[in-house]
Amino acid sequence: MTYLLDVNALVALGFAQHEFHNRVAHWIRSQRFPPLATCSITELGFIRVLVQAPAYGLTVSQARTLLVRIKRADAPQFIFIPDDHDISHLPTWVKTARQTTDGHLAVLANANDATLATLGTKIPGAYLIPEK
């Protein structure tokens, strides 16, 4: 099973001081390092969150370097899912602006034989990363 990490899960994995870092890292280890995936949206979101949040205080260059390092690590293995889905693929359960990215990522994952892995509880068909 390949898991497409949503932005929050990717940030939690990549930044040890994140409140859910241990939760995500423990889940990955307990799954014996399943293949993980990113896409343009999750990678750009990772950079945006780490640069905009004062608690992290990273520059774009630092956040990019961190993400590249994470993706090049021996475990877990990362793949990149190219995003070729336009708005016509947005699922019908998307009703608010806050759901658009989640809906897009869930459909993108499914179309690429992956499952969206998230810390959020309201994404139909997504895998909720469990608490320890």
Tell me, what's the pLDDT at 113? 96
Residues 90/103, Cβ–Cβ less than 8 Å:
yes
Tell me, what's the pLDDT at 74? 83
Tell me, what's the pLDDT at 57? 85
pTM, two decimals, is: 0.93
Residues 31/69, Cβ–Cβ less than 8 Å:
no
Which uninterrupted H or E stretch holds 79?
Answer: strand 78-80
CATH of the domain at 122: 3.40.50.1010
What does the chain come to in residues?
A: 132
Tell me, what's the pLDDT at 62? 96
Query: Structural domain tally of the chain?
Result: 1
Interatomic CA distance for residues 97 and 10, integer angstroms: 21
Question: Which whole-number Å values give the CA distances from 11 to 5, 14, 48, 89, 124, in the listed order?
Answer: 9, 5, 10, 26, 21
pLDDT digit of tens for each residue in the chain (132 aa)? 899 999 999 999 998 889 999 999 999 999 887 899 999 999 999 999 999 988 888 999 999 999 999 999 888 899 999 999 999 999 999 999 999 999 999 999 999 999 999 999 999 999 999 997
Tell me, what's the pLDDT at 55? 83
Question: Which whole-number Å values give the CA distances from 126 to 47, 59, 110, 121, in the listed order?
Answer: 23, 31, 9, 8
Calculated CA dihedral for residues 110, 119, 91, 42, nearest 10 degrees: -70
Interatomic CA distance for residues 12 and 54, integer angstroms: 16
Range of the structural domain that residue 123 is part of: 2-128
Tell me, what's the pLDDT at 34? 84
